[in-house]
């Protein structure tokens, strides 16, 4: 029997309830009609109406949830009553009834029935949950938290009542957006979008938007004299177009029929800069630059191949002047094959269509002082098949040279990324432009990569177009970029490590000597809060934008995505690491394979399902099918069903990228069960809770995903770092034990085990045949006993070096003396002992 917004007095006699004559029934369900209409189910298990004699109730099992939306708008003194029972629970299992006042973004528990009380007897709740009054987004749910199909929860007699408020609902205005338009050169403009939202329960009548005078205006106004329905919004765009230098302030006045905020005032400000002046990271040169490559004549001549040149031709020269023009708008060109030279092409990728040229280009940029910033940061899924390129755009520089005839010069770093893979080729493009929209050819060059199997030089000039226009998010882009740069760790050249610690007698040439110089992209050491950086060499000089050079994660993502996501989940929901894979990844339905495998077992690559226990034999023989399957259904099918069941979980480490994919899927579904179906673990658990608070770059906020409706984060690979991201992650783990800004974000016990700080939880040996293991794998982190090295001196006792490792020659070592050492290379040399032997001179590493 179901009721929605009927008089409670009509129901009182039948229910035997003593209700106030003024209370209305907003929602009631006793399930006696045999249906669960109005309830939405999600998660693993079953949701059905169950009969016991003449009584019906809603039954959910395993990790199933069933939720109902109960709009209480117009009601106050809202109260909830219900009954909950449980049956056949085991240790750690429980049944919950929860409510949400924000549409399912977060939940509050009203009633819990746990193991030990699972006697099928109903327990009751009656009360007035916070946030239940006058709320269109009020929800109620029953949630099972078990691990077996016969872990049952029963919900019955759900009643929500309230007293109708006089006059019904009311509008409630909320205004968001920035009134700070930033610094703009005279003759240019910037914009900011203001959003007016109605968070009330009745339509909001917006009057005029007034108050602005030149140099401010409303270039777009979708709000004045309009009606905004409850839960909806409208937008207006504030424009700042200074005609003179100076500071300007004004007030945007928003009128509405909100009873307690009929007038909202938004402070608006901006600074006009004289042409040729600068507002961020200004230069001191006079523009007198001597240039022999990438000249004005080169850029304004024919769009031809040109030739490979030293990257100094693409970099900011010593005597550059502040830019006299401002770039804001769209840069476009059509990709056409120009110069291409093969260095190494193991799989003949160069024969694929599109592989020897830049992709078509149509992207917006914003200039901030002497920097030019792309509107879109992070991985851009541009390709649709192997051979076509995905793309990453990074911030570059803008400056003037006297020989450029009144044009300003821009240089923008970019990365071509193999379609749905981690292989990364770093380049720079450069061009001349002016405020009227005139632009030269774009000259581009790629001469380095972090990619073991596909290496080339690509270069040329392409005809381009520039469409000046205001970018609506310009002010926010500039502000975020300033914060990003300011939050980077202090850097020094690697050579300064010896200067800072002269008594140590460090030979800098030994650092990163484990890898061939030609194979190295970057390397670095962090000690006492300073990031000593090295590398960044290409086949044609030093890469001009080392701070934003794209570094592929490859399998270090197993640690940084797979490992950190489960550590974060365990910190939020104790016991989640022990959740059974089969219960959260329904495609792993084979009980003999997956019935007892936990998420942590999969993170340890110890599922008991494999073909060969020989070192990485399964990965070498079969991983290519998983890697190049670009749908969730394809990846999860291989992950769940490909390998044979050999033994119980937790006994043998066998390297499978597919196991980490299952960790990601399990964490994702567990998170949804706790926080709502709209949640996604990469965005809402990693980016929101770890990467952003840690101050990582926007490059980290996107990852390789399956190319289907599921858009599943791959987890085992697919991140793209800046070098600053690498060291911040390592420092957070090694020196802060999973804390960010003093707050424990990752489960401390899992962090300690991963870093070999718990002698009772080493993980599993890499070589089971060793009587005394020299290597372990634990929670997706590797470890090596430095005492086993013949290179490192003075290690006379067990000394564990935890590290992250990636395909081709990538290592991030977290040393017991608090140092971090990392290298990104592609020559298949993963060694680090020669470097650690040198660093041991500065601070003792060995026990």
Spell 614-644 as b/e; 16+ CB within 10 A means b: eeeebbeebbeebbebbebeebbbbbbebbe
Structure confidence at residue 548 (pLDDT): 99
Residue 332's domain spans which residues? 296-485
Residue 755: which CATH number?
3.40.710.10
State mean pLDDT over 78-97: 90
Same domain, 141 and 183: no
Same domain, 337 and 463: yes
Structure confidence at residue 13 (pLDDT): 34
φ and ψ of 571, to 5 deg: -65, -35
Residue 86 domain-assigned?
yes
In a 10 Å sphere around its CB, with 0-12 CB exposed, 13-18 middle and 19+ buried, how is residue 119 labelled? Answer: exposed
Same domain, 776 and 651: yes
Helix (H, G, I), strand (E, B) or coil at 350: helix
Confidence check: pLDDT of 789 > 80? yes
Confidence check: pLDDT of 4 > 70? no
Contacts for 395 with CB less than 8 Å, ≥ 6 apart: 371, 372, 373, 374, 412, 413, 481, 548
Domain final residue, candidates 136, 164, 192: 164
Count of CB atoms within 10 A of residue 21's CB? 8
Structure confidence at residue 8 (pLDDT): 37
CA-CA distances (angstroms) from residue 68 to 71, 422, 535, 556, 733? 10, 42, 57, 41, 41
pLDDT in tens, 406-433: 999 999 999 999 999 999 999 999 999 9
Contacts for 4 with CB less than 8 Å, ≥ 6 apart: 26, 27, 28, 38
Domain final residue, candidates 468, 485, 502: 485
Same domain, 220 and 158: no
State mean pLDDT over 325-329: 95
- Beta strand 537-538 pairing with 530-535: unpaired
Contacts for 54 with CB less than 8 Å, ≥ 6 apart: none
Confidence check: pLDDT of 166 > 60? no
Report yes or no: 681 and 666 within 8 Å, Cβ to Cβ: no
Structure confidence at residue 52 (pLDDT): 84
Domain final residue, candidates 144, 164, 184: 164
- Beta strand 491-493 pairing with 530-535: parallel
Structure confidence at residue 6 (pLDDT): 41
The gap between the terminal CA atoms of the chain, to the nearest Å, is: 71
Q: Which residue has the higher pLDDT, 185 or 563?
A: 563
Structure confidence at residue 75 (pLDDT): 85
Radius of gyration of the chain (CA): 31
Same domain, 70 and 98: yes
> In the 8-state DSSP scheme, what is residue 347?
T
State mean pLDDT over 378-397: 96
- Could you tell me the pLDDT band of residue 202, with boundaries at 50, 70 and 90? confident
- Could you tell me the pLDDT band of residue 3, with boundaries at 50, 70 and 90? low
State mean pLDDT over 286-296: 97
Residue 845 domain-assigned?
no
Residue 531 domain-assigned?
no
Structure confidence at residue 191 (pLDDT): 85
Structure confidence at residue 505 (pLDDT): 96
Residue 233 domain-assigned?
yes
Please state which of the ranges 18-27, 238-247, 359-368, 674-683 shows the lowest mean pLDDT. 18-27
- Could you tell me the pLDDT band of residue 195, with boundaries at 50, 70 and 90? very high
Residue 188: which CATH number?
2.60.40.10
The C-alpha angle with vertex 447 and arms to 442 and 450, in degrees rounded to 5, equals 125
Report yes or no: 315 and 293 within 8 Å, Cβ to Cβ: no
Closest-CA residue to 96 (of 72, 69, 71, 123)? 123
Confidence check: pLDDT of 17 > 80? no
Q: What percentage of the chain exceeds 90 in pLDDT?
A: 80
pLDDT in tens, 334-378: 999 999 999 999 999 999 999 999 999 999 999 999 999 999 999
Q: Which residue has the higher pLDDT, 478 or 1?
A: 478
Same domain, 683 and 700: yes
- The structural domain count of the chain equals 4
The C-alpha angle with vertex 128 and arms to 125 and 131, in degrees rounded to 5, equals 130
Report yes or no: 90 and 148 within 8 Å, Cβ to Cβ: yes
Structure confidence at residue 147 (pLDDT): 82
One-character DSSP codes across 361-372: EEEEEEEETTEE
Confidence check: pLDDT of 168 > 70? no
- Could you tell me the pLDDT band of residue 273, with boundaries at 50, 70 and 90? confident
Confidence check: pLDDT of 504 > 60? yes
Confidence check: pLDDT of 599 > 80? yes
Same domain, 200 and 304: no
Confidence check: pLDDT of 465 > 50? yes
CA-CA distances (angstroms) from residue 142 to 94, 111, 145, 174, 572? 11, 9, 10, 32, 20
Confidence check: pLDDT of 146 > 70? yes
Structure confidence at residue 54 (pLDDT): 85
Structure confidence at residue 60 (pLDDT): 92
Count of CB atoms within 10 A of residue 495's CB? 12
Handedness of CA 682, 683, 684, 686 (dihedral sign): positive
Count of CB atoms within 10 A of residue 502's CB? 8
Confidence check: pLDDT of 14 > 80? no
Residue 143: which CATH number?
2.60.120.260
pLDDT in tens, 612-650: 999 989 998 777 889 999 999 999 999 999 999 999 999
Q: Which residue has the higher pLDDT, 185 or 295?
A: 295
Same domain, 122 and 197: no
- Could you tell me the pLDDT band of residue 91, with boundaries at 50, 70 and 90? confident
Contacts for 819 with CB less than 8 Å, ≥ 6 apart: 525, 526, 527, 839, 842, 843, 845
Confidence check: pLDDT of 485 > 50? yes
Structure confidence at residue 15 (pLDDT): 35
- The label of the residue with tokens 């939405």 reads 40
Residue 549 domain-assigned?
no
Same domain, 304 and 217: no
Structure confidence at residue 44 (pLDDT): 85
Contacts for 562 with CB less than 8 Å, ≥ 6 apart: 603, 660, 663, 664, 715, 716, 780
Same domain, 330 and 466: yes
The Cα 159–Cα 142 span in angstroms is: 14
Same domain, 720 and 794: yes
Confidence check: pLDDT of 165 > 80? no
The Cα 75–Cα 23 span in angstroms is: 9
Same domain, 304 and 235: no
State mean pLDDT over 229-241: 90
Confidence check: pLDDT of 179 > 60? yes
pLDDT in tens, 709-742: 999 999 999 999 999 999 999 999 999 999 999 9
CA-CA distances (angstroms) from residue 295 to 401, 431, 541, 565, 655? 10, 10, 18, 49, 51
Structure confidence at residue 843 (pLDDT): 96
Range with the largest mean pLDDT of 30-34, 37-41, 383-387, 831-835: 831-835
Residue 546 domain-assigned?
no
Residue 17 domain-assigned?
yes
Residue 281 domain-assigned?
no
- pTM metric for this prediction: 0.76
The overall average pLDDT reported for the chain is 93
3-state SS, 786-808, equals HHHCCCCCCCCCCCEEEEEEECC
């Amino acid at each position: 029997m179901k009721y929605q917004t009927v008089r409670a007095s009509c129901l009182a006699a039948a229910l035997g309830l003593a209700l106030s004559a003024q209370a209305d029934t907003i929602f009631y369900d006793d399930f006696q009609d045999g249906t669960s209409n109005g309830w939405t189910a999600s998660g693993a298990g079953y949701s059905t109406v169950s009969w016991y004699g003449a009584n019906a109730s809603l039954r959910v099992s395993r990790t199933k949830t069933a939720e109902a939306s109960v709009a209480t708008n117009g009601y106050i003194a809202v109260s909830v009553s219900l009954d909950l029972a449980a049956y056949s629970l085991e240790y750690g299992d429980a049944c919950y009834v929860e409510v949400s006042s924000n549409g399912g973004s977060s939940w509050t528990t009203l009633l819990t029935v746990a193991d030990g009380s699972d006697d099928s007897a109903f327990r009751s709740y009656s009360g007035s949950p916070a946030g239940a009054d006058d709320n269109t987004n009020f929800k109620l749910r029953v949630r099972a938290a078990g691990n077996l199909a016969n872990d049952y929860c029963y919900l019955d007699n759900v009643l929500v009542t309230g007293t109708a408020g006089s006059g019904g609902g009311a509008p409630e205005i909320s205004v968001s957006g920035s009134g700070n338009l930033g610094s703009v050169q005279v003759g240019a403009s910037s914009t900011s979008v203001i959003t007016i939202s109605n968070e009330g329960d009745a339509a909001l009548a917006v009057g005029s938007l007034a108050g602005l005078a030149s140099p401010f205006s409303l270039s777009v106004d979708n709000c004045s004299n309009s009606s905004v329905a409850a839960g909806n919004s409208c937008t207006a765009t504030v424009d700042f177009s200074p005609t003179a230098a100076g500071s300007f302030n004004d007030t945007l006045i928003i009128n509405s029929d909100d009873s307690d905020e009929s007038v909202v005032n938004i402070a608006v400000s901006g600074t006009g800069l004289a042409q040729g002046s600068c507002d961020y990271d200004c230069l001191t040169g006079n523009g007198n630059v001597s240039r022999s490559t990438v000249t004005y004549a080169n850029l304004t001549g024919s769009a031809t191949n040109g030739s490979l040149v030293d990257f100094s031709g693409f970099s900011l020269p010593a005597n550059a002047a502040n830019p006299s023009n401002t770039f804001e708008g769209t840069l476009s060109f059509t990709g056409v094959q120009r110069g291409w030279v093969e260095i190494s092409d193991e799989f003949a990728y160069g024969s694929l269509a599109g592989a020897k040229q830049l992709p078509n280009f149509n992207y917006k940029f914003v200039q901030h002082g002497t920097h030019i910033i792309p509107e879109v940061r992070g991985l851009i899924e541009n390709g649709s098949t192997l051979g076509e390129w995905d793309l990453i755009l990074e911030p570059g520089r803008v400056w003037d040279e006297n020989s450029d005839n009144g044009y300003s010069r821009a240089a923008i770093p970019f990365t071509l990324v193999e379609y749905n893979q981690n292989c990364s080729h770093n380049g720079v493009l450069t061009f001349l432009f002016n405020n009227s929209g005139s632009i030269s050819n774009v000259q581009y060059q790629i001469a380095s990569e972090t990619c073991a199997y596909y290496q080339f030089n690509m270069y040329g000039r392409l005809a381009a177009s520039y469409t000046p226009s205001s970018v609506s998010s310009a002010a926010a882009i500039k502000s975020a970029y300033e914060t990003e740069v300011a939050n980077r760790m202090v850097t020094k050249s690697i050579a300064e490590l010896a200067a800072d610690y002269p008594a140590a007698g460090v030979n800098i040439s030994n650092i990163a000597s484990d890898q061939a110089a030609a194979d190295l992209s970057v390397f670095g050491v962090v000690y006492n809060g300073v990031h000593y950086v090295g590398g960044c060499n290409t086949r044609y000089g030093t890469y001009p934008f080392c701070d934003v050079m794209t570094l592929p994660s490859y399998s270090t993502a197993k640690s940084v995505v797979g490992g950190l996501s489960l550590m974060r989940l365990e910190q939020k929901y104790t016991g989640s690491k022990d959740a059974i894979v089969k219960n959260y990844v329904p495609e792993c339905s084979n009980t003999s394979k997956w019935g007892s495998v936990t998420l942590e077992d999969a993170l340890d690559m110890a599922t008991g399902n494999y073909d060969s226990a020989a070192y990485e034999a399964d990965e070498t023989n079969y991983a290519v099918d998983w890697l190049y399957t670009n749908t969730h259904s394809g990846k999860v099918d291989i992950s769940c069903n490909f390998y044979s069941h050999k033994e119980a979980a937790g006994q043998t480490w066998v390297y499978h990228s597919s196991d980490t994919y299952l960790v990601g899927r399990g964490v994702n579904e567990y998170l949804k069960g706790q926080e709502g179906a709209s949640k996604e673990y990469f965005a809402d658990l990693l980016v929101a809770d770890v990467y952003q608070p840690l101050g990582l770059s926007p490059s980290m906020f996107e990852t390789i995903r399956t190319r289907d409706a599921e858009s599943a984060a791959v987890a085992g690979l697919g991140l793209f770092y800046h070098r600053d991201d690498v060291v911040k992650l390592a420092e957070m783990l090694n020196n802060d034990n999973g804390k960010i800004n003093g707050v424990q974000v990752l489960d401390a016990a899992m962090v300690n085990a991963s870093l070999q700080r718990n002698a009772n939880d080493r993980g599993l040996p890499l070589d089971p045949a060793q009587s005394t293991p020299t290597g372990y794998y634990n929670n997706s982190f590797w470890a090596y006993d430095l005492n086993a090295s013949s290179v490192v001196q003075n290690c006379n006792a067990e000394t564990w070096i935890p590290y992250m490792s990636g395909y081709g020659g990538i290592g991030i070592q977290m040393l017991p003396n608090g140092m971090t050492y990392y290298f990104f290379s592609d020559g298949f040399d993963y060694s680090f002992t020669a470097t650690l032997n040198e660093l041991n001179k500065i601070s003792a590493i060995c026990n």
